[in-house]
A and B are shown apart, each in its own frame.
Chain A
Amino acid sequence: MENRDFWRWSEDVFVDTSRDWRSANIISCGIDVGSVSSKAVVMLDGMLYAYSIVRTGVNSSESAKKAFIPIEERTGLKLNNCNFIVGTGYGRVNITFANKTITEIACHGKGAHYAGGPKVRTILDMGGQDCKAIHIDSEGKVTNFLMNDKCAAGTGRGLEVLAELLEIPIEEIGPRSFDIDEEPEPVSNVCVVFARAEAYNLLRKGWSKNKVLAAYCRAIAERVCSLIKRIGVEPDFFVSGGISKNIGIVKRVERILGIEAVKSTVDAQIIGALGAAIFAKVLYEKSRG
């Protein structure tokens, strides 16, 4: 078998070709430089127009520009055509061309409010290197916030390590974790470093890879729920971030919390950048009086 990069997920770009940015009044842009992925979102008059997701490189300032390029290539829209740019995310201080930077917490609140609807009150964001639980009010303003970015278990990086370990493409983890006869007990130790020995032991005991995946997804879901329960769950419930695409974890989280997540009208990985773009429009309007 050739050397596959099991941790590699697909980069993405979307443009609403039915609209033309040249005829828009306000072009607002949000850029979210995360530790693992960078996202750019463009809104025309408060409506989503385009977005792109790329892998963050070693340099966060370059990653911010890189995130916008796929949009520019497809639409001809340049960064300096945008009326207002808000930067957010882990690398936001390095987005030199942003008009303002806002924390990803506030941006996630606003973004979830737009993508999940005004009834969203609880947000779970599972990112590349962190996990966040956020409460928002009816306007999308943050009222409670908790984050874990110390421990890789339950983050994208942790899942990447698991994918490499079991030699399964990261996008297959979710579906395969349900292709089992019976839901196993969760693994006792979520530590990704100890996972190597623990996973080998399970495989040697005759467990299939799918069953091992299920046990890990369950353990990760439990610890994520532990985080959310610290601030409580109130409907509507919204899940964002890269791991929201992993049904192995999301479905189990829903099961444990006893609540189903509302559907997102956009790719859940861009919620931060989306919120930033919404803030950008508001700030631009404010600046014009």
Chain B
Amino acid sequence: MIVSFGYMDGSGEYFITVDNSKCVKCASKPCISACPKQILEAITNDYDELVMAVKNEARNRLKEECSVCKPNTGIVNLPCISACPFDAIKHSW
């Protein structure tokens, strides 16, 4: 199952997508500690798989929360994506 967390509003579309079938293979979930704003957590999904999800309170503020890792200028290597060993995470912006 592929789950996207985030939102779209007048200014654009901001989604973090987690491929659950890849994510479930990872036991330690290093992405969670890699995030400087601590917006990721481990949950059990509807199909009893232990996977990463974006915390509820951060889902509608992704543009803001992720702004620390995504300035307008400069090279960006997102910590969450870099930490993931299975290439399960994607950002839509």
Contact = CB atoms under 8 A, between A and B. Distances in A.
Contact of B4 (A103, A142, A146, A191): A146
A230 B4 contact: yes
Given A144-B1, A144-B2, A145-B3, A227 B8 contact: yes
Contacts of B46: 102-103, 105-106, 142
Interface in A184-202: 189-191
Contacts of B9: 150-151, 153, 191
Contact of A226 (B2, B7, B13, B47): B13
A28 to B, nearest CB: 18
A148 B7 contact: yes
Contact of B1 (A143, A153, A226, A230): A143
Interface of A: 102-103, 105-106, 141-151, 153, 189-191, 223, 226-227, 230-231
Interface residues of B, number: 15
Given A145-B1, A146-B4, A151-B8, A230 B13 contact: yes
B15 A150 contact: no
A142 B15 CA distance: 18
A191 B10 CA distance: 7
Interface of B: 1-4, 7-10, 13, 15, 46-47, 59-60, 92
Contact of B8 (A141, A148, A231): A148
Contacts of B1: 142-145
A226 B1 CA distance: 20
18 contacts: A105-B46, A144-B2, A145-B2, A148-B7, A148-B8, A149-B7, A149-B60, A150-B9, A150-B60, A151-B7, A151-B9, A153-B10, A189-B10, A191-B9, A191-B10, A230-B4, A230-B15, A231-B4
A227 B8 CA distance: 8
A230 B93 CA distance: 12
Given A142-B1, A151-B10, 10 more contacts: A102-B46, A105-B46, A144-B1, A144-B3, A150-B7, A151-B7, A151-B8, A151-B9, A227-B8, A231-B2
